[in-house]
Chains A and B, each alone.
Chain A
């Protein structure tokens, strides 16, 4: 990413969230990391890692109280 983290919010707001725009974003990722001459495992793994992170955030509440702690 060429933008700084501080500008991330304004960058997200400039994105087009309509279905055509979202498909365009997937195409962009595809053309940059997957559809290249020596595309490697990293292109796929990043997508899977993002999916993992998304699921982690979604189930955070359920396992918050299961952390190894002295007093539950």
Chain B
């Protein structure tokens, strides 16, 4: 695998002098010294272990800075330092004939930099992770074909599909014009399901999304996963897993466990550009005032039974369903007082009520509050107007893409 290091060094600056390391005063000079040492080690022969050690020192120090205070307060310079640490560690792992495990660790390291760091050297971590994924796929093909593991199918339990009553169903419309969507739904802030507007997505056509497809495109990549029934529960937590690990454990339940894990609210398409190629920005977003760059695109991938508690968001939302189906209920912001939002600063946009099993004694006004609901199926896009309360439960394996725009 000496060829791997050749590919990596080809994308690095040709010499130490041409390798930029500029930071503001916020970064202590002792840290800059460690960064300089790591940079030097790329161009002067040093042991792999020594390089990894130095890179880890940079990572540990900057990681502590990233965890001090709230994420918003973290100075971008420390995220850059963290990314440099990831770069040096990944580069070190790729030297001297790396094993398959080392290559996977290098991918994970790049992912940590992409998730927690800030772009450096023209997004070099993206460039490197693409090279590494190429190596991973190559060696996967070269390996003897693994026995295809028997996917444990749990006893088939049909999902609780709620009956949608027509008088409270979210209205549907097929391929409306920009003008008609604007007039009838955006301006009056009325929810609607748009049909036919994502039929052209490669994710539904040439490269249909499936478990196998996701494993092949992103299996070795590390992503954040929410563990626990809902984010308002005490046992709820977040963890980092590779896509393969997530699917093994929380979709296919290979370990026999029953815990719920949800790959939720993650900007997967920034992290894995190949997947971005499979979707398109809905044209209707141009009706907003915001810039296209400010549109947040999130992936929502999980098994049946994932629940997003009733909550509201500060932006308009197009929720596009690609795989599987979801039950969604919507309440108007005018009825907020009947939805008993949490008092705390952290959760004031979330209702205390369990929508499909409300506590009538604690929340008496809830039962009579009007709502709209639907079962959103593949190819459909739900328009959730800004501040509209929404509750989502997946009915089966599901992959949705949300677009938050203004």
Q: Are A and B a genuine interacting pair, yes or no?
A: no
B interface residue numbers (CB < 8 A to A):
none
A interface residue numbers (CB < 8 A to B):
none
